Structure 1
Amino acid sequence: MSTIPPEDIDTTGHAGLLIGSRWSPPADPTWVAVIAHGYGEHIGRYQWVADRLTSDGAVVYAHDHVGHGRSAGERVLIEDFEPVVDDLHLLVQRAHEENPGLPLVLIGHSMGGMIAARYTQRHADCLAATVLSGPVLGSWEPTALADLDEIPPTPIDPTTLSRDETVGSDYQVDELVWHGDFKRPTLHALRSALDAITEGGRLTVPTIWLHGADDQLVPIGPSRAGWEQIAPEGAPAKAYPGARHEIFNETNREEVLDDVLAFVHEQIAS
């Protein structure tokens, strides 16, 4: 599988310039993927995922959320996730305009899975399917830090990302990753977004929920509980034994992407 370098693209979002990437397949695309990344990281960490998707015929779009990676904004400061969903909609609209008639699949990981779930509630007509990877749903323990007088340091233990040790070591030295503490407004916004999703009703787009069974960053129990409140009737779900948080970067990542693509093929065929 060859690595296709991305083309830089940019969008003017609600709080400034959003820097993103577009990966094109070697032949004419047959479908479109839009990726929403997780808290504190950036889309550059998804090159391998983009390689798998473009090899399958997808043209892939993504951008760094406000306050993340190369995009504008104070680092990891998000006071309301609804405008972040609006930003994502600008990217989805661009992807549709540049690839008219092709089915579009939204793929969200972690906080990006939360954003993707909310997007799917608000813009179901734009999507053929949604993939949620280790999504923050239901409730998330770190949001309780917002209730403390002083938020303690909360560094991410890199060993919780993947059983592949290089994933954690690369994360630690990645200058585009946020290595500092949570910000109170962001924690409040996360809690509000989770409540909005729970109250937003069941998803009407074919959606799959995938999670690492040994995920310590976004524990599987609360996420599964949140998923069960919004899951479409009969929606598929799968937990990977032993897998940690970043299932797209796990030692069984080929299996995970095989499952993603099998689901996508089933949806775009119908």
Structure 2
Amino acid sequence: MLFFDGSRGRLHYRRWPVDGHAAVAVLLPGIGQHTGHYHRFARILRSVDIELWGLDTAGHGLSEGDPEHPGTLAELVADATTLVDLVRAELPESPLLLMGHSLGAVTALGMLGAAIPDASTATDLNAVEANFPLVPSLAPGTLTGLVLSGVPRRALGSGTPGAPGTPLPSDLPVLAVHGVEDRRAPVDAMRVWTERHEWVDLREYADAGHDLLHEPVHARVGADIADWMQGVVVGLARHA
């Protein structure tokens, strides 16, 4: 089993190796999920030669901690960045894709300094600056692509005039997948966010809710993500 020392104790991560892989993806699950729930998704990515690594958030899966208090966003970002560093140390030449679901998607945006609360949910910008990472924890060029699933509204304030934080890089390919019936993170906020970030590819799934990879549409969503990741990696190779 694989562990590292995180912000709130020993954290478990999982790796699904792929011989001769074309790229590696790092998955950050949401609250209530852990890497043991993603074997099926790992097989889908394997079919397009993408190796998957995933993190058990503090208090989830085999990681130490309190599941009710997995950490501040700064701590979550620090833990996820440590995992990316481990991937980079093991596979330094592999194109790297980052994927986050729900809280994991907030963390992924936080790693880019772009997880800024929506203006209607944040009344004190000083509090925003105190509690949300405003600068990237990843060096420029670390990521080949970013996949966001079920992003809560509270992290979708970037891109507005005068917003704190770091603008999302316009040269970073981004795929957002979202259920039209998502009650935890209504899709309307994501639609507004993607209007501000025109290069983001938003895929909406009718009759689907928050946890797309564990709902009846999971096969289509998984295939769409895998195809998109493969396309990004192929496009990178063509421009190399």
Taking structure 1 as the reference length, the TM-score comes to 0.70
Q: Which residue of 1 aligns with 2:119?
A: none
Worse overlay, 248-257 or 16-25 = 248-257
Any idea what the Cα deviations from partners look like across 1:168-220, whole Å, max 9, x if unmatched?
xxxxxxxxxxxxxxxxxxxxxxxxx6668963243112111110111122211
Matched, 1:216 2:208: no
Q: Which residue of 2 aligns with 1:149?
A: none
Map 1:127-206; keep pairs closer than 5 Å.
127-136=143-152, 138-139=153-154, 199-204=164-169, 205-206=172-173
Matched, 1:70 2:80: no
Q: Kindly provide the amino acid, as one letter, of the partner of residue 201 in structure 2.
A: P
% same residue:
29
Check conservation: 2:4, 2:11, Cα contact below 8 A.
Answer: yes
Q: Which residue of 1 aligns with 2:121?
A: none
Q: 2-side partners of 1:64 and 1:15: how far apart?
A: 12
Check conservation: 1:68, 1:76, Cα contact below 8 A.
Answer: no
Worse overlay, 103-112 or 213-222 = 213-222
CA drift of 1:21 comes to 0.7
Q: 2-side partners of 1:19 and 1:260: how far apart?
A: 24
Map 1:5-24; keep pairs closer than 5 Å.
8-24=1-17
CA drift of 1:228 comes to 4.2
For structure 2, the 5+ residue unaligned runs are 114-135
For residue 251 of structure 1, give the secondary structure of its aligned residue in structure 2. coil
Q: Which residue of 1 aligns with 2:104?
A: 112
Cα RMSD (Å): 2.1
For residue 268 of structure 1, give the secondary structure of its aligned residue in structure 2. helix
Check conservation: 2:179, 2:207, Cα contact below 8 A.
Answer: yes
Q: Kindly provide the amino acid, as one letter, of the partner of residue 71 in structure 1.
A: S
Taking structure 2 as the reference length, the TM-score comes to 0.78
Matched, 1:30 2:22: yes
Q: Which residue of 2 aligns with 1:225?
A: 192
For residue 101 of structure 1, give the secondary structure of its aligned residue in structure 2. coil
Q: Which residue of 2 aligns with 1:40?
A: 32
Q: Kindly provide the amino acid, as one letter, of the partner of residue 20 in structure 2.
A: D
More helix by share: 1
Q: 1-side partners of 2:70 and 2:30: how far apart?
A: 13
Any idea what the Cα deviations from partners look like across 1:21-49, whole Å, max 9, x if unmatched?
11112x32111010000012212111111
Q: Which residue of 1 aligns with 2:82?
A: 90
For residue 214 of structure 1, give the secondary structure of its aligned residue in structure 2. coil
For residue 234 of structure 1, give the secondary structure of its aligned residue in structure 2. coil
CA drift of 1:221 comes to 1.6
CA drift of 1:91 comes to 0.6
Q: Which residue of 2 aligns with 1:243?
A: 208
For structure 1, the 5+ residue unaligned runs are 1-7, 140-192
Any idea what the Cα deviations from partners look like across 1:68-115, whole Å, max 9, x if unmatched?
222112222145211211111111111111112110101111111111
For residue 209 of structure 2, give the secondary structure of its aligned residue in structure 1. coil
Check conservation: 1:66, 1:76, Cα contact below 8 A.
Answer: no
